[in-house]
């Protein structure tokens, strides 16, 4: 944060949105186009950091070109399987007119010059992304300040493509193209307007001259920054909207991809730490007996850190074996919650107190109370969602070297700058003395938005004084981390004499993000009261893929289905009738229904269910067909229609819908973290089941490009509709309404 006091200067002065992004150096925001390699600006500083290769020329902070004409996009977001690296490079390459086979990706270093203020902005105040030009200076300044304060180099919220891709990478590519053309125009003595760029080549038709980008890379970096780079219209997209092959796949197929857990400290003998956190959150190690562990093979050090125990050894296995031999006693927990039943009883007490109008109003429309009282028919239901673990394939880990007042960290993280600040604070260092290397993530799902594990490793590294790689066991990862919150929701609705939903009232205990996840604004319901009655959580919270939508979509879309049945209407018809003001939502729902053959007769014991959710700017409808003839739910098909505005890479987008569906299905069918004596009961994949290959339904995805100026996300929106669509299908097949997840538990 200390570099915030001296905002670097730039010649770019026009405070338009694009101008700001172009001149990001003004506030340390995004792009430093056009300021070239002159001394005293960040490109001069960044050059040696990101363009160390032979003959490489940094054109601006987001792309470099080497002597072989290879363009490298420097991407500030992390890659956790969601395809952001490749999609962002694709957007940059399209505007640049680069040959895709000559494009590479590089992870931007954890450096204050690679903040992503638009990601923050998409979250905190998405409405301002379309703000009028005269407001831009205010918003940009504000969000860049927030990004700085919050160490905003963040990957989350399904936002990379729609924020950084749209507002930074494309502009970086377009500006660099103009700068290359400008350099060629000077060299060739012809008007810039006569020069065309295509396939990483520049050419001038009249004189028959052409040359690769690389020839003009150095001169381009000296060009003035275009104040308002001209972006392509969809009709001119060449790579955007195509299935350009993902750049990260080959390394993942041939095994050369390097993840956080693969890190080694260069030139050092590695030691390994296994850790055991206290079993119940908030407790402490009261007594540790390491007498047996001390003599075990490979053991170097045994640490009682107060809130956890660590064994450091020559190998991870030796460390874990010795840790298993340590017995400990813990202090008594302050939280009175001992079981899942205790947690839900606390939620229920809070909701009882809130009653029909208590709690903090989130959405108020019309007069829900009066409309409910006057309704022809009233229905109400209570839904519950359990705690969930993220369970990424790569367990939490971090490798650290703390030496001579400096700390170097290698770790998979969605928030490298927050990891840097948190480690610095824990060690009493300045953030400048901490370097974070952040390789590929073996799964994030929101768990790696938290930095608890990085701080633990830093503390171990400081205590030992030699480099240590800390790896959590699978059991540790599942039991002692942070969790998707459990929640309880009560919803009441009123139908008029024509069977229309005229009143909707809901209250629930958990509200984290996004702010509107508890609403279903696209349905035209005249009277609404949506309230949040907060209740504390026994297990610590971390955002889970789709965050609040992961439970709210189940509550809302299950209830809408119940309302349809109470009105004796078809669930599809019932929803369509409420979508008069939402043509894009209507189109998506109709598409999914058509794909599924909604309304066609089904075999006995089979049922179809549907759900419609908008999350992270993308509208998704899913239809599930379930076979209940064996007494347990078996999904045969999922049909998914999605409108992300415009899918930059349709193959990647479909991949994310499929991934979200399977991830959400695991949660809906089996996901449950339960408590015993205040500690997590589950320990590994045998009792925290994933959906297996033989249970996975056939999944069909169709994309509607509904509005290329209003992009939605991809990583999360596939998940929310699957749980309610499944529960609704089970109801259609059996008449049994499931109001508590996980669903499979209700059929054993």
Partner 1 sequence: MHRSAAIPATALALILAGCGSKAEAPVEQIVVRQPGQPAASAPTAAAPAAGDLVAAGKAAFAVCAACHSVEPGGASGIGPNLHGVVGRAVGTLAGFTYSKAMSGSGITWSEAELQAFLANPSAKVPGTAMAAGQVADAQRRAAIIAYLASLKH
φ/ψ of 399, rounded to 5, equals -115, 130
Torsion angle of the four alpha carbons 564, 568, 572, 578, in this order, in degrees rounded to the nearest 10: -60
Helix (H) or strand (E) holding 21: helix 17-22
Place of tokens 């974070």: 436
Could you say which of 243, 248, 314, 658 contacts partner 1 (CB under 8 A)? 314
Q: Work out how close the CB of 459 gets to partner 1 at its nearest, in angstroms, rounded to a whole number.
A: 5
Could you say which of 56, 95, 151, 627 contacts partner 1 (CB under 8 A)? 151
Find the binding residues for partner 1 in span 109-148 (CB under 8 A).
Answer: 119-120, 122-124
Distance between CA 736 and CA 726 in Å, rounded? 12
**Residue 469, helix vs strand vs coil:** strand
Q: Work out how close the CB of 658 gets to partner 1 at its nearest, in angstroms, rounded to a whole number.
A: 22
543 touching partner 1, by CB under 8 A: yes
Q: Are 180 and 173 in contact (CB under 8 A)?
A: no
- At a CB cut-off of 8 Å and minimum separation 6, what does 499 contact? 567, 568, 569, 574
Q: Work out how close the CB of 278 gets to partner 1 at its nearest, in angstroms, rounded to a whole number.
A: 12
Could you say which of 305, 379, 679, 690 contacts partner 1 (CB under 8 A)? 305
Distance between CA 178 and CA 95 in Å, rounded? 10
| Choices 4-12, 183-191, 274-282, 416-424 (CB under 8 A): range interacting with partner 1 | 416-424
19 touching partner 1, by CB under 8 A: no
Q: Work out how close the CB of 119 gets to partner 1 at its nearest, in angstroms, rounded to a whole number.
A: 6
301 touching partner 1, by CB under 8 A: yes
288 touching partner 1, by CB under 8 A: yes
547 touching partner 1, by CB under 8 A: yes
| Choices 25-33, 45-53, 537-545, 561-569 (CB under 8 A): range interacting with partner 1 | 537-545
Q: Work out how close the CB of 576 gets to partner 1 at its nearest, in angstroms, rounded to a whole number.
A: 31
Could you say which of 302, 579, 673, 691 contacts partner 1 (CB under 8 A)? 302
**Residue 194, helix vs strand vs coil:** helix
Q: Are 285 and 327 in contact (CB under 8 A)?
A: no
Could you say which of 277, 511, 569, 608 contacts partner 1 (CB under 8 A)? 511
Q: Give just the sign of the alpha carbon dihedral 723, 724, 729, 733.
A: positive
Helix (H) or strand (E) holding 493: strand 487-495
Q: Work out how close the CB of 109 gets to partner 1 at its nearest, in angstroms, rounded to a whole number.
A: 19
Q: Work out how close the CB of 19 gets to partner 1 at its nearest, in angstroms, rounded to a whole number.
A: 25
Could you say which of 25, 185, 221, 427 contacts partner 1 (CB under 8 A)? 427
Return the HEC string of 115-157.
CCHHHHHHHHCHHHHHCCHHHHHHHHHHHHHHHHHCCCCCCCC
Query: Of how many residues is the chain composed?
Result: 748
User: Which is closer to partner 1, CB of 324 or CB of 380?
Assistant: 324
| Choices 100-108, 536-544, 601-609, 681-689 (CB under 8 A): range interacting with partner 1 | 536-544
Alpha helix (H) ranges present in 473-612?
A: 474-479, 549-566, 571-576, 583-596
Query: What tokens were used for 160?
Result: 């990379």
154 touching partner 1, by CB under 8 A: yes
User: Which is closer to partner 1, CB of 547 or CB of 612?
Assistant: 547
Q: Work out how close the CB of 5 gets to partner 1 at its nearest, in angstroms, rounded to a whole number.
A: 14
User: Which is closer to partner 1, CB of 477 or CB of 627?
Assistant: 477
Question: Residues 665, 668, 669, CA angle at the centre, nearest 5°?
Answer: 85
446 touching partner 1, by CB under 8 A: yes
Helix (H) or strand (E) holding 643: strand 634-643
Q: Are 588 and 554 in contact (CB under 8 A)?
A: no
Distance between CA 733 and CA 205 in Å, rounded? 67
User: Which is closer to partner 1, CB of 548 or CB of 643?
Assistant: 548
| Choices 64-72, 200-208, 498-506, 534-542 (CB under 8 A): range interacting with partner 1 | 534-542
Q: Which of 300, 299, 308 is nearest to 328 (CA)?
A: 308
Binding footprint of partner 1 on the chain (CB under 8 A): 1, 119-120, 122-124, 149-152, 154, 156-157, 159, 253-256, 269, 271, 285, 288, 290, 294, 297-306, 314, 415, 418, 421-422, 425-428, 446, 449-452, 455, 459, 463, 466, 511-515, 540-543, 547
């Amino acid at each position: 944060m200390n570099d915030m006091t001296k905002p670097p200067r730039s010649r770019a002065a026009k405070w338009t949105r694009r101008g700001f992004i172009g001149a990001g150096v003004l506030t340390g925001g995004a792009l430093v186009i056009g300021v070239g390699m002159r001394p005293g600006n960040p490109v001069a500083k960044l050059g040696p950091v990101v363009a160390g290769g032979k003959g490489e020329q940094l054109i601006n902070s987001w792309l470099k070109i080497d002597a072989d004409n290879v363009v490298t996009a420097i991407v500030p977001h992390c890659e956790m399987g969601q395809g952001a690296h490749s999609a962002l490079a694709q957007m940059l390459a399209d505007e640049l007119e680069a040959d895709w086979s000559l494009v590479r990706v590089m992870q931007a270093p954890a450096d204050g010059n690679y903040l992503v203020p638009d990601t923050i902005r998409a979250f905190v105040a998405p409405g301002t992304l379309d703000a009028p030009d005269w407001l831009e200076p205010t918003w940009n300044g504000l969000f860049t300040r927030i990004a700085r304060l919050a160490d905003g180099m963040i990957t989350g919220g399904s936002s990379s493509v729609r924020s950084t891709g749209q507002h930074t990478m494309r502009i970086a590519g377009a500006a660099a193209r103009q700068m290359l053309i400008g350099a060629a125009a000077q060299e060739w003595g012809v008007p810039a307007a006569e020069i065309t760029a295509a396939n990483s080549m520049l050419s001038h038709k009249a004189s028959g001259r052409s040359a690769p980008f690389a020839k003009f890379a150095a001169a381009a970096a000296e060009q003035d920054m275009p104040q308002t780079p001209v972006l392509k219209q969809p009709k001119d997209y060449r790579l955007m909207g195509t299935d350009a092959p993902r750049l990260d796949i080959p390394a993942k197929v041939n095994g050369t991809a390097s993840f956080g857990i693969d890190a080694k400290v260069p030139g050092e003998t590695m030691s390994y730490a296994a850790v055991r956190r206290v079993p119940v959150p908030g407790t402490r190690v009261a007594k540790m007996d390491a007498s047996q562990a001390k003599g075990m093979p490979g053991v170097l050090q045994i640490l009682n850190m107060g809130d956890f125990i660590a064994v450091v050894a020559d190998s991870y296995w030796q460390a874990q074996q010795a840790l298993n031999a340590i017995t400990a006693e813990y202090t008594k927990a302050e939280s009175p919650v001992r079981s899942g039943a205790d947690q839900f009883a606390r939620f229920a007490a809070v909701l009882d107190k809130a009653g029909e109008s208590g709690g903090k109003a989130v959405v108020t429309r019309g007069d829900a109370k009066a409309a409910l009282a006057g309704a022809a028919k009233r229905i109400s239901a209570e839904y519950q969602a359990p705690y969930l673990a993220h369970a990424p394939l790569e367990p939490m880990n971090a490798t650290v070297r703390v030496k001579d007042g400096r700390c170097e960290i290698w770790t998979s993280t969605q928030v490298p700058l927050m990891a840097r600040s948190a480690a610095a604070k824990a060690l009493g260092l300045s953030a400048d003395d901490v370097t974070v290397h952040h390789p590929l993530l073996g799964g994030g799902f929101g768990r790696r938005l938290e930095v608890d594990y990085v701080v633990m490793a830093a503390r171990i590294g400081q205590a030992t004084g030699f480099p240590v790689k800390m790896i959590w066991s699978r059991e540790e990862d599942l039991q002692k981390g942070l969790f998707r919150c459990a929640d309880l929701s009560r919803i009441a609705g009123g139908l008029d004499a024509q069977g229309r939903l005229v009143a909707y009232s809901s209250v629930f205990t958990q509200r984290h993000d996004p702010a509107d996840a508890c609403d279903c604004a696209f349905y035209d319901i005249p009277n609404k009261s949506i309230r949040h009655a907060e209740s504390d959580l026994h297990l610590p919270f971390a955002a889970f893929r789709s965050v609040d939508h992961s439970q709210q979509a189940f509550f809302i879309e299950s209830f809408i289905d119940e309302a349809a049945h109470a009105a004796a209407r078809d669930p599809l018809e019932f929803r369509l009738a409420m979508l008069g003001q939402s043509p894009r939502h209507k189109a998506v729902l109709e598409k999914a229904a058509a794909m599924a053959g909604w309304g066609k007769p089904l075999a006995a014991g089979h049922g179809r269910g549907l759900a419609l959710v908008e999350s992270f700017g993308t509208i998704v409808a899913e239809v599930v067909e379930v076979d209940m003839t064996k007494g347990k739910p078996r999904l045969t098909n999922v049909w998914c229609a999605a409108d992300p505005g415009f899918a930059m890479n349709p193959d990647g987008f479909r991949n994310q819908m499929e991934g979200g569906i399977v991830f959400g299905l695991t949660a809906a069918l089996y996901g449950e973290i339960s408590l015993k004596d205040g500690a997590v009961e589950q320990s590994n994949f045998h009792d925290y089941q994933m959906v297996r290959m033989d249970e996975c339904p056939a999944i069909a995805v169709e994309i509607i490009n509904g509005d290329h100026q209003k992009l939605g996300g991809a990583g999360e929106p596939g998940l929310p509709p699957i749980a309610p669509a499944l529960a609704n299908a089970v109801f259609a097949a059996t008449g049994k309404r499931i109001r508590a997840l996980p669903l499979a538990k209700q059929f054993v």
